[in-house]
Amino acid sequence: MAPVRAAGIVEEAVNGVGGSPLADRGKDRPFTDAEALEFARRVVRIEAATLERVADRLDEGLVRVADRLGSGRALVFVLGVGKSGLVGEKLAATLASTGTRAFPLHPAEALHGDLGRVREGDVALLLSASGETEELLKIVPPLKALGAVLVAITCHERSALARKADERIILGPIEEACPLGLAPSATTTAMMAVGDALALLVSRCRGFDARGFVKFHPGGALGRKLTRVEEVMRSGPHVRIARESEITREVLVRLGGASRRAGAILIVDDRGVLTGIFTDSDLARLFERQRDYLLERPIVEAMTRAPSLIRAGRSLAEALDALQARKLSELPVIDEAGRPIGLIDVTDLLGMVPPHLLQAETDEPAKTVAAASSESGEEVP
C-alpha cells in the first residue's frame, strides 16, 4: 500500500488537495488579485526609483575603475557572497563577453587554494551591499599580499570593505523593495545595473565593436546575426559570372550542368565590375513575354540592371534584411571596387536566424545595402 499512498501524496502536491491547482487559487490569500498586482507593481517601481537615485550618485570613481580594467592585460576576478555573489557571476560574464578577461572567484574557495589564480596587478571586484561581509573581509589581506588591486562595490562609503579597497564604487543608501526590508531586492538590482554600466564603459574604452563581439558569441542566433556575409556566401566555382558581351544561350550552356548551384548569373563589364544579374526568373520571363530571341543576343540585353547587392564586411543580418524587404532569392556580394566576390543564396540561410532577430544593425539599412555606384554615376539601389 505504501506506493499507492506515495502516488497520492505526489498528486496532492501537484494538484492541491481536492482537485485542480487553479480551482482554489488565492483562497487562503488575505488580499485580492488587484491588491496582489498593485504590490508587484510597487516592487518594480521601488527598484526603478532606486536605479534613478543610484545613477545620480555615481561619480568619477567608476570611471577610474573602468580605466583600470580597460588598460593592460590584467585579469579581473569578481567576488561576492550570497545574492551579491550571483550578481558577481553575471558581472564577470558580461565583462568577458565584451572583451575583458574576467572570472568569478568564490571567497571561500579562494581561501582554500583558488588564490593561486591571482597575480600581481590583477583586479579584484568585491561586491557587498553592507560592506561588512565577513568572508570578503577575510580575503582582503591575502589579495593585497598578492599585489591585486581591490575595488569595492558597496552601498556604504564608510564600511570596512570600502576603507580597505584601493578604489570604490559607492551606491549609497538603498531601501529594499521587500516589505520586511530583509530580502536583497533593490540592492541587487542596483548592483547589477552598476555592474552593467561598468562593463559597457570598459568595452567602450577598449573600442569594442560588433566584430569583436561576434568573436565571443559564435554560437546561437546572436552569433549568426552578427556573422559577416563573407563567412556564409557562396564563392569561387559556386558563383556563376559572365561578361556583358557573351551570348545568353552560350552563357547558359557554359555555366549550366551538374556543377550549377545558384539560380543566378552575375554579369560584369570589361573591368570586372558588377552591372547586372540574370536569374531563373529572368529566363522564365523571356518566354512568358515572347522575347526568347534575346537568347541569341548579348546577355547584357536580357539581364536585370543595377541589382540589389551588399558590400563585403556587412553583417548577415543586413543581408537577410535586404533579401526579405525586396523578396529576393539571391544577393551579390561585391568588394570595394564593385567586383563580385560571392553570392548570398536564401536557400543557404533558411533557419539560420529567427525572424525576430533579422533587424539589421544599422539605422539606415537602405544606405548600407546596395549603396554602390558605377563610374558612370548610375546608383545601384
Phi, psi of 82 (to 5 degrees): 65, -135
Each residue's pLDDT tens digit, 125-182: 999 999 999 999 999 999 999 999 999 999 999 999 999 999 999 999 999 999 888 8
Give the confidence band of 10 by pLDDT, cuts at 50, 70, 90: very low
Return the pLDDT at 353.
Answer: 53
- What pTM was estimated for this model as a whole? 0.64
Residue 147 and residue 173 in contact, taking contact as beta carbons nearer than 8 Å:
no
Is 205 a residue whose pLDDT tops 50? yes
Return the pLDDT at 350.
Answer: 66
Residue 232 and residue 316 in contact, taking contact as beta carbons nearer than 8 Å:
yes
> Mean per-residue pLDDT for 53-70?
94
Of 28-32, 50-54, 117-121, 147-151, the one with minimum mean pLDDT is 28-32
Domains along the chain with CATH numbers: 35-208 (3.40.50.10490), 226-380 (3.10.580.10)
Return the pLDDT at 30.
Answer: 84
Return the pLDDT at 15.
Answer: 47
